[in-house]
Every structure is written in C-alpha cells, then in structure tokens.
C-alpha cells in the first residue's frame, strides 16, 4: 500500500514539474506558434481554476470542466502519457473540447476576464461567435 502511495506521489510530482517547466518555457519563448503551444495547457488549467469559483458560470459548464480535469488526472488515458508527444496531446484535446463546450455556455466577457494568456488563443479555442 505504501509503495503504491509513494509511486503515485512521485508521478504527481513529475507531472507538476513538467507543467511548471511548460509555464516557465512559455514565458521565455519569443512570440509565435511555439510559445502559444507551450503555454496552452497551463493557460487552460488556470482558466478552469478561475471559472470553477465564478457564480456566473452555469453548472453544466463546471461539470464538463470537472470531468475533463478528472480525465487529465486519471492514469488511464486513450493514449498513455509515456508515449512522446501523443501522450500529452490527447490530454490537451480533451481539455480543449471540454473548454470549448463550456465556453459556448459561459458569457464571453467572463471567459475573457478569466483567460490568463493571449486573447487570440482564446478566440481560436472557442471559435468565432
């Protein structure tokens, strides 16, 4: 039991370190597509965290984002996380779909207030209305 707990804690630490590395890398890259791609997942996580506590967000949207978060934290994925590039890509796709679904139900100004990144990325994520 303790070995499994230690292994889980270790995996969580590695995941958090990778996300922190992405956040640092996103700030240091020059403007462009590479910076947008690296900063996308940390920005989505920040957006989800900010929307969770906002009373202007409908419950359906909160449930969609919560289910996506459960999928992200779950060790069971469509593509395992240890597969280079594709392992993280399926997580980003699931999060993008959930945020897009939620984003169509949340007022645009609420999303703009909660989005920490470039507003153009938010427009790409949600599509034009």
Q: What b/e sequence results for 7-38 when a residue is b if at least 16 CB atoms lie within 10 Å of its CB, and e otherwise?
A: eeeeeeeeeeeeeeebbeebeeeeeeeebbeb
Q: Where are the domains of the chain?
A: 2-126
pLDDT tens track for 96-112: 788 788 888 889 889 88
pLDDT given at position 31: 66
Say whether pLDDT at 59 is over 90.
yes
Check if the beta carbon of residue 19 is closer than 8 Å to that of residue 88. no
Give the mean pLDDT of 4-32.
Answer: 73
Give the mean pLDDT of 24-29.
Answer: 63
Tell me the pLDDT band of 58, cut-offs 50, 70 and 90: very high
Say whether pLDDT at 129 is over 60.
no
The rounded distance, in Å, linking the Cα atoms of 59 and 51 is 11
> What average pLDDT does the structure give for the chain?
78
Say whether pLDDT at 91 is over 90.
no
């Amino acid at each position: 039991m303790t070995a499994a707990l230690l292994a889980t804690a270790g995996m969580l630490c590695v995941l958090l370190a990778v996300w922190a590395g992405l956040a640092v890398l996103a700030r240091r890259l020059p403007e462009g597509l590479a910076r947008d791609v690296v900063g996308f997942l940390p920005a989505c996580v920040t957006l989800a965290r900010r929307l969770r506590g906002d009373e202007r967000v409908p419950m359906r949207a909160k449930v969609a984002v919560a289910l996506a978060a459960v999928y992200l934290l779950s060790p069971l994925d469509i593509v395992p996380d240890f597969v280079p590039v594709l392992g993280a890509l399926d997580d980003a796709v699931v999060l993008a779909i959930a945020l897009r679904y939620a984003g169509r139900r949340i007022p645009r100004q609420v999303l703009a207030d909660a989005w920490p990144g470039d507003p153009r990325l938010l427009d790409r994520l949600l599509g034009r209305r």
